[in-house]
Structure formats: C-alpha cells, structure tokens
A = this chain, B = another copy of it.
C-alpha cells in the first residue's frame, strides 16, 4: 500500500472544508494520515459524521474520534444553548472575538494531537487554522501555533530526547477561495464536508451562520460551485 509508506502525521479533522484540504495537503506531502476528530458537544453530531466520510475518502491509516465535554465549562455559542449568530450579528466578528469562540479549544485539540503523535512516533501535526479569512479566534494565529510548537518540544519524552514536533499549518496564509481551489486540485470532494454551525436538517446548511457565509464566499472567490444545499439562498 504505497500511500502508507511515508512518515506518519496527525491531522485534526473537523469535517469542514479547511481540515479536509489540510489533510489532502498532508497526504500529497507523502505522510500516512492518522486522523483525529473531536466529539465535544457540538450542536450537531453531523460534523462528526462528515469527518468520518472525509477520513474514509482520504484513505487515512486510522481515525480516532475523541469524545470530550466542553459544555461543562460553558461560555460559547458552539457548546452552550446560546443561539448561533445569524447574519445581522455576523458583523460582530469584524470588531472582536465572536461568541462562537470556545475557550482554549485549539489548545485542547493540539494537546490531544500531541499525545497521539508521541504515541505513534509521528513528528508532524496538521491543523487547518487560518489567519486570513480570520474569524477573530486567538488560537488560530501564528503566535499561538509557534507557542504550542515550543511547548510540544519541552512537554514530551520525544521532545526531551531531541526529536522535534512541527505544527503544520499549510492554510495559514491562504484565502478561503485559495483553500477551496487547492482542495479541488487535490481531489477533495467538498460534497462530503459540512461547515454549517446550525444545520436546519440532515444534509442541509443554514446558509446564514458565520461558517456558511465564509464557505459561500470562498466558493464564489474560487469561481466554483458549492455542492452544499442551503436552506437560505439570499
């Protein structure tokens, strides 16, 4: 199995456009993929289902779904009963950090990614964070990624033994349109992905939440058709 002959890499896979493209980039670079998805009390378990579809399509070596509970801490529209912001509110992301921010989420995700990497002898952890079509999340910035990478190399047996972990963020400087074009070039089937924070029905996206707005704009930028069925088309 030729695709399994390279070095192992961990890929954080949410089931959305960015992580699917990130995984396809890691595969193109010759890594064997160990996918890691979190079931963390998202409002919709369909995100995890989408991640499973994407992982299967990518031919990953293994896919671990880690169930964690972020609802006990509260403080986010993505894990609480707070309503996800609709279009009138979407503008607030321009002026600060949106209410869909989940405290320390990417720190938690990368911490598990690091455990997975060390247990598998992998040195590369891919995460689809992006600082261009930036949602205002502090844990998507290069400063965060650099600080985590530094931590990884003092936190672990492997790091102390002189091995070096790299947090790979191939999308950091890409626009959403560029991400989508890159995914298409690499054969990602975006029909398998799900971006919506608040899907009104199975297989349907709201079309109005921040995530849908970014996705739709990205497909427009890319000049490509979005395979998503939207409940609201505007």
Contact = CB atoms under 8 A, between A and B. Distances in A.
Interface of A: 64, 66-70, 72-75, 97, 101-108, 110-112, 114-116, 118-120, 138-139, 141, 143-144, 147-148, 150-152, 154-157, 159-160
B160 A155 contact: no
A72 B66 contact: yes
Contact of A104 (B69, B141, B155): B155
Contacts of A157: 97, 101, 103, 138
- SS class of chain A's interface: helix, strand, loop or mixed? helix
A104 B115 contact: yes
B154 A138 contact: yes
B159 A154 contact: no
A69 B69 contact: no
Contact of A68 (B66, B116, B118, B150): B66
B119 A115 contact: no
